[in-house]
Amino acid sequence: MAIKIVANLACSFIGTIAYAVMFQVPRRFYIGCGITGSVGWMIYKLASVYCSVAVASFIGTVCTVLVARMLTVRLKCPITIFLISGIITLVPGAGIYFTAYYLVTNQLAMAAVKGLGAVKVAFAIVLGIVCIVSIPREVFQKEYWIERKLKKQQKGKI
């Protein structure tokens, strides 16, 4: 069991970094990209035990985008650097492949099943991205929470 977890972590980390290298992400962001992809994949694997693949993809995407937003604020760079690299582990590539395969081999019922599954996962990914990206950037900055705490303390004194 532990070997599977370590293998999943290593593969998702290396795969995400490889994707970042392929799309010429600056070197200083490689580790952040790897962490983003690994977090999303591990959350997905954990959630897929308890719920459907689409729901697990949504949960994994939410965690991926949260990590990407935090790294974006911390490292002062665009979110796309971490978001695109991190989401790649969750993209339903096999579902899309088998949809095309079943269409070519004239197995339309199987193509419909695989295609619908891939569309559900893709929609879950989009929904997860929208949910987190709609949160204002200030929420991910430490100063926001310090200022908020100070205002709360001043209200209590009045």
Q: How many domains does the chain have?
A: 1
Confidence of residue 149 (pLDDT cuts 50, 70, 90): confident
Average pLDDT, the chain: 91
Q: Tens digit of pLDDT for each residue in 46-91?
A: 999 999 999 999 999 999 999 999 899 888 899 999 999 999 989 9
The residue that leads in pLDDT, 76 or 158, is 76
Q: Tens digit of pLDDT for each residue in 124-133?
A: 999 999 999 8
Six token digits for residue 152:
């709360």
The residue that leads in pLDDT, 151 or 71, is 71
**What pLDDT score was predicted for residue 158?**
62
pLDDT tops 90 at residue 2: no
Six token digits for residue 16:
């995400």
Residues for the chain: how many in total? 158
Which range of residues forms the domain containing residue 107?
A: 1-156
- H-helix or E-strand spanning residue 10: helix 2-22
- H-helix or E-strand spanning residue 158: none
**Residue recorded with tokens 């926001």:** 144
Six token digits for residue 49:
């035990």
**What pLDDT score was predicted for residue 118?**
94
